[in-house]
Amino acid sequence: MESLHQDPVVPVLFAIAIILIAAKLGAAIANYFKQPDVLGELISGIAIGNLTLLNYNGFAFIANNHTIEILAGIGVIILLFQVGLESNITEMLAVGVQSFIVAIVGVITPFAIGYWASGLIITDISEISKIFMGAILTATSVGITARVFQDLKFTKEKEARIVLGAAVIDDVLGLIILAVVAGIAQTGEIDPLNITIISSKAIGFVVVSLILGKFFAKKTVKTFSLLKLPGMMLTTLLVLCFIGSYLANQVGLATIVGAFAVGLVLDEVYFEPFKDGNTVHDYIRPIAYFLVPIFFVITGMHVDLSVFADLQVLIASISLTAIAILGKIVCGWCFMTKEKMNRAIIGFGMIPRGEVGLIFATVGKSLGVVDDRLYAITVIVVILTTLIPPPILSMLIKNQAKVEHS
């Protein structure tokens, strides 16, 4: 009987139960205040993760559980795959130029201002530290914005397509920037060959995915449909999603880029050979209900509110957060078009830094150019840029819907 209590799966099961309860309670409260579910999930995670400030450590095992972290990682992959499925590649390519401009401006502006301001606000940091702080501010975490768009059934609108397209380009640009600044930190000089190789792989993956992805996806679906086994449609979807994520990682890109690209090239008509009366969304939705909230609750749990206790860190964080927000808001007004669209949605949609900003900071910390103080500042910037956009986006989208239906 004693061995049953030592079963390693038990802590994981208990952690998942707590996370799902917290996620749904948070979502219910957010809905009561007419806000997207994701905001409630994030705040629930922050609340659970900071109970230690009240001298309660009962939930510490959740954030430190490697299995839960893996489930959270799969959750964000499923989310971006789902967003890709809900998007149309033809419509996405139609706003390709605008997405590219948004991405470029959304990288250059916060990088330049962040580099300058970090040195001005924190006078004792090194040149490479200022470069890293600028690089951290360039990141865009599409997971938060994608979930808001999804919650409000806005993924098919032009503004959403521009933001999602720009976010994918941002991942490619972010990889290149991270490679450059990490190279400078390690060697003190830029290696053009290494930068060229990484850039070529990143750009090549996205291009090949969009051009050849449809052909391989169609062939894979047709082959799997011949097996005539229960659950083959779901199996096919997950296999394609996970292989796309794996291949993206192999070329040095974020796994979510691969998941989004695969979802983007898949078409409902490819799955007609299964003829079971269900759509791809019918199969993916229950898995998303399970895994996606885990990602957002865990993201919230990693937020340490105790860093707010240092006044200098707090002032620097608020200043850099303002720069981080303004550096992305300008994206909405950086291209010319005669079409009527809500540019504020584009600008605010590009703001969240989320886990991407933390990845940049973690790399900088491992290289010794981002100290505990700068890391704390990054955490606060991530907190604020994660929490501020969802309610504002929700308000903007709902106001736009009212205008269109009036």
Arithmetic mean of pLDDT, 366-389: 82
What per-residue confidence (pLDDT) applies to 1? 44
pLDDT tens digit sequence for 277-335: 778 888 899 999 999 999 889 888 877 788 777 787 888 889 999 999 999 999 888 87
| Assigned CATH for 72-405 | 1.20.1530.20
Which of 67-76, 88-97, 115-124 is predicted with the least confidence, judged by mean pLDDT? 88-97
Domain boundaries, the chain: 72-405
User: What does the pLDDT look like over 198-209, one tens digit per residue?
Assistant: 677 777 877 787
Taking the C-alpha atoms of residue 246 and residue 316, their distance in angstroms, rounded to an integer, is 38
**Percent over 70 (pLDDT), the chain:** 92
